[in-house]
Each structure stands twice: as C-alpha cells, then as structure tokens.
Amino acid sequence: MLGRFQSSHVRIEVPATAEQVRDYLTQPAQLRQWLWPLRLQTTGDRLQVGETFTGEFLGLKLEHRVELLTEGRLVLVLRQAVEGWQEWSWGDGWVQSCIEGVTPLPLELGQTFLLWRLKSALNETVSN
C-alpha cells in the first residue's frame, strides 16, 4: 500500500440520544443517508460482527469488516484505499471517531467531513 501512516481522533457533540447515534452508525439504510458521496454496498438491516461491506468513492474502494459491535462502540478493520482501522464510540449527545491507517488520502479531512455529515443528518432527524 502506498501512502503514509495517519491517525485522527475527533469527538463532537450531536443533538441525539445514544440509540439514535447507534442506528445511524449500524443500519445500512441510515449509513447511506450521511455517508454520501461514499457509495455503500451492504445487505441486511443492521451491521453484524464479522460482516464485510464495501464503499466506493471516486473509483477508490474501501472494504470494511465489522470487528466489534456493542451498545456504544463499533470497530471496523479497513482495507484497500485505507489499510487500518476505525473506531466509533457514542453516548447521549456525543459521538467520537478514531481512525488510523496507511493511505494516500487525507484521513483527517475525510473524517471531519463525515462527522459533519453525520451531525447534519442527526440534526434533521431531531428537528422532524
């Protein structure tokens, strides 16, 4: 894998319960709403430990394998466009993303953009 090792940790406040955040991080229908422009290819109505799914962005594929899933935590092993892992943690009013990996892509920029998209989607859910 070409690229460099990168690490980014971001925690934000969100106007949502822990259950709402969990749904947006573990239900493919919800993931598709805020992960744009990443095209997600997965089946089922909720992610499961051991499941592998892919996303594509600008012709780059990113494979995710669900390593751990609890009431407040999701750990994904990443392959292809990013070789590494991502951990999501959440609770009432907050969500945190930690990502580490080797990639030519700007991880911190991508992570910040995705957290902004997640917060926007949760804002819309809470306002409706």
Q: What is the pLDDT of residue 9?
A: 96
Structural contact between residues 96 and 11, judged by C-beta atoms closer than 8 angstroms: yes
Given a cut of 90, is residue 70 above it in pLDDT? Answer: yes
**What is the domain partition of the chain in residue ranges?**
4-127
Given a cut of 70, is residue 73 above it in pLDDT? Answer: yes
pLDDT digits (tens, 9 = 90+) for 25-55: 999 989 988 887 777 887 789 999 999 998 8
Mean pLDDT for the chain? 91
The separation between CA 52 and the C-alpha centre of its own chain, rounded to angstroms, equals 14
Given a cut of 70, is residue 128 above it in pLDDT? Answer: no
Read off the pTM. Answer: 0.91
% pLDDT > 70, the chain: 98
Q: What is the pLDDT of residue 40?
A: 81
Instruction: Note the CATH architecture for domain 4-127.
Output: 2-Layer Sandwich (3.30)
